Amino acid sequence: MVRRYLLLSPGPTPVPQEVLLEGAKETIHHRTPEFVNLLKETLELTKYVFQTQHPVYVLSSSGTGGMETAMVNLVNPGEKAIIVNAGKFGERWVDIAKAYGIVPVEIKLPWGTAVTPEMIEKALKENPDVKVVFTTYSETSTGTVIDLEGIAKLTKGTDVILVTDAVSGLLAEPLKMDEWGIDVAVSGAQKGWMLPPGLAFIAVNDKAYAKIEKCTNSRYYFDLRKYKKSAPDNPWTTAVNLIYMLNKAVKMLKEEGIENVWARHKLYGEATRAAIKEIGLELFSERPGNVLTAVKSPIPSSNLTKVMRDKYGVTIAAGQEPMKDEIFRISHLGYLTPFDIITGITALEFSLNELGYKVEIGKGVKAAEEVLFKGLVG
């Protein structure tokens, strides 16, 4: 059987051919005026994605490097930080804090639930000495999105810094950094940016940078003071060919229009969820977002993902750690078309039946098609 491979994983995501070809260009020296000018243009372009006029810094790392950068530049050892922990990546904030001697004040929630502004407000009142709050906009391990705009209303105009891990959430969900009052936002290339892994981004407003300058935590490679001093150049060797690709990808996103990017992800998420419900499966998240759809799996999800990948060429994700084999996650993130969603649902129906969980073939596909047709044609 002839197969094409389709990534419906929440990272890496598919990369457009036009972007891949940019990466094939000749590698030039990262300190030449030609490259520094390209980097300057590219960093200016990325502000559009974050909806900010403040600086965006690019790191040669995964999204976790961006998270570590935020933590070590804002909180001193021995100080407390409020951290929302409702999944694998909330746990990662906690682990990073502990690695640097920072005391996490956890808002710990069951996986699949979403923190509310009221919970954040309560934590701030109970811990008036805490000046930094770390959140996860879209918890990739559960498919849950939080009310980030509502949370930002609590900290906007105060001396409390709001940080969000938008590694997967940026571009899939509306995020208006300046308008909402988000102080620091982190993202990663291999998600909605339509790029291969290897770059992280961190956007920082003036309020946050004032705290960064006063922070005494140990830092070297991820020291944002060095990045600001070197701007628009990078203090370290930049991933030259990935910057070529980033430049092209952001131009494509800007041409599409950020509102249209958000709407595209919303439509694909709605279509996927409609298909899941129609074939009789249950969503895992109480507040599902548009990065991915997490589904309670009727069979061990590692078996399901293996058949979908190895036989039908569609890669989705199983659950992580406590949710291993309990859920599966279908991404609708990045460079995808409506027909990719249909392909993914078809592969899911085939695989479920093959593994002994009987669903009506085409039932989920029809539900997804109806949502997509209405969204595309009206």
| DSSP per-residue string spanning 58-107 | EESS-HHHHHHHHHHHH--TT-EEEEEESSHHHHHHHHHHHHTT-EEEEE
E strand or H helix at 339: helix 338-354
Count of CA atoms in the C-beta half-sphere (13 A) of 172:
37
- Per DSSP bridges, beta strands 317-318 and 327-331 are antiparallel
Architecture per CATH, domain 6-13+257-376, reads as Alpha-Beta Complex (3.90)
- First-to-final CA distance of the chain: 36
Distances (CA, A) of 338 to 69, 235, 256: 36, 41, 16
Separation of alpha carbons 162 and 21, rounded Å: 37
Which phi and psi (to 5°) does residue 5 adopt? Answer: -100, 130
CA dihedral for 156, 193, 168, 374, sign (positive or negative): positive
- Please list the pLDDT of the chain residue by residue as tens digits (378 residues): 777 899 999 999 999 999 999 999 999 999 999 999 999 999 999 999 999 999 999 999 999 999 999 999 999 999 999 999 999 999 999 999 999 999 999 999 999 999 999 999 999 999 999 999 999 999 999 999 999 999 999 999 999 999 999 999 999 999 999 999 999 999 999 999 999 999 999 999 999 999 999 999 999 999 999 999 999 999 999 999 999 999 999 999 999 999 999 999 999 999 999 999 999 999 999 999 999 999 999 999 999 999 999 999 999 999 999 999 999 999 999 999 999 999 999 999 999 999 999 999 999 999 999 999 999 998
pTM of this prediction? 0.97
CATH architecture for the domain at 17-256: 3-Layer(aba) Sandwich (3.40)
Going by their DSSP bridges, the two strands 144-145 and 138-139 should be labelled as antiparallel
Distance CA 219, CA 212 (A): 11
The type of residue at 370 is E
In the chain, where does the domain assigned CATH 3.90.1150.10 lie?
6-13+257-376
Check if the beta carbon of residue 83 is closer than 8 Å to that of residue 106: yes
Q: Where in the chain is CATH 3.40.640.10? A: 17-256
